[in-house]
Amino acid sequence: MSIEKMNSGLLILAEMEASLPPSERKIAQYILKHPAEAIKMTAIDIGKQSHTSSAAVIRLCKSLNLSGIQELKLRIAGDLQSEKIDVRDIEPNEPLESIIDKITNHSMQILRETADLIDQKELKHAVDAILNAKRIFFFGVGASAIAAMDAYQKFVRINKYCMFFTDTHLGATAVVNAEEGDVVVGISFSGETHEVAKVLEIANGVNATTISLTRYGNSLIASLADICLYTSPKVEATFRSGATSSRLAQLHVLDILFMCVATSTYEETIEYLDKTRTVIKTLHEKVGKRRITYS
């Protein structure tokens, strides 16, 4: 990630605060209360101000999966420079124009935060796993099933052997027959969905490569995955509790994953997409006796 695009430091701290060890939690709390001051301090200064130590500051950065105090400060500085978007829930009899603005602003924020949280090393691992996969299994339940289906319809168009499941029994019976080299992608915004966790557990038992897509932070599903991808952890507002923003964030990450795979096999991808577009067009033609070839 380039320096000028670094942010989400405050988001990461807020999400991870509760799960941090006591000394690291004190540092996180201090920085969240005094972000503008913290970015001007050294690790020693932050340790003193939070009544901990510089060593605890370094440990905090490791817990947050950051390269060090400099990256943390750069991310926080990016947060402070970013334009604040007012995200509120809708109100009774709200004007249409206001609803359009609120939903659009919220979606923009979710997409930006999700992009900022993508670990490019993990993304590269996921791309390599997909590229080398014999088979790909996408699994999600509820709203996450929509993301699983969307990923399936994208990758199947570029000739990847893949399946998606929303039924736990079907998913389990398919994944138990997976092999080393196969990839199983478990999708759950909360990261705690029992069915998704079980499917990843089964996948690990047969040595398939496992990828999780969850909200940022520690979770059961992320702990079960070989490769972890994250979305913004922002909680859904009351009227968006139908997983509007979380679904949008999941689709965003899967789109990025797809495009990364596509660009790695650009010529083949274009050929497959052209072929699938051609066959879709023929579906609207009158059925005849002539044989249609697509090679």
Residue 21 — pLDDT band, cuts 50, 70, 90? very high
DSSP 47-101: HHHTTS-HHHHHHHHHHTT-S-HHHHHHHHHHHHHSPP-------TT--HHHHHH
Among the CATH numbers 3.40.50.10490, 3.40.50.620, 3.50.50.60, 3.40.50.300, which is that of 118-278? 3.40.50.10490
Residue 1 has pLDDT above 50, yes or no: no
1 CB-contact burial (10 Å; exposed 0-12 / middle 13-18 / buried 19+): middle
CATH 3.40.50.10490 residue ranges for the chain = 118-278
Is the domain defined by 3-81 classed in CATH 3.30.70.580? no
- Angle, CA of 237, 153 and 239, to the nearest 5°: 10
Q: What is the pTM of this model?
A: 0.82
| Number of alpha carbons in the 13 Å side-chain half-sphere of residue 170 | 10
- Predicted pLDDT of residue 120: 92
pLDDT, tens only, 103-152: 888 888 889 889 989 999 999 999 999 999 999 999 999 989 999 999 99
pLDDT, tens only, 63-96: 998 889 999 999 999 888 875 555 566 677 888 9
> 26-46 b/e with 16+ CB inside 10 Å = b?
bbbebbeeebeebbebebeeb
Residues 56 and 31: their CA atoms lie apart, in Å, by: 13
CB atoms within 10 A of CB 154: 20
> 114-151 b/e with 16+ CB inside 10 Å = b?
bbbbbeeebbebbbebbeebebbbbbbbbbbbbbbebb
CATH 1.10.10.10 residue ranges for the chain = 3-81
Of the two residues 220 and 99, the one the predictor is more confident about is: 220
Residues 55 and 46: their CA atoms lie apart, in Å, by: 10
pLDDT, tens only, 247-288: 899 999 999 999 999 999 989 889 989 988 888 888 877 776
pLDDT, tens only, 160-206: 999 999 999 999 999 999 999 999 999 999 999 999 999 999 999 99
Residue 238 has pLDDT above 80, yes or no: no
| Percentage above 90 pLDDT, the chain | 65
- Please provide the average confidence, as pLDDT, over all residues in the chain: 88
Mean pLDDT, residues 10-35 taken together: 94
- Predicted pLDDT of residue 209: 98
Residue 228 has pLDDT above 80, yes or no: yes
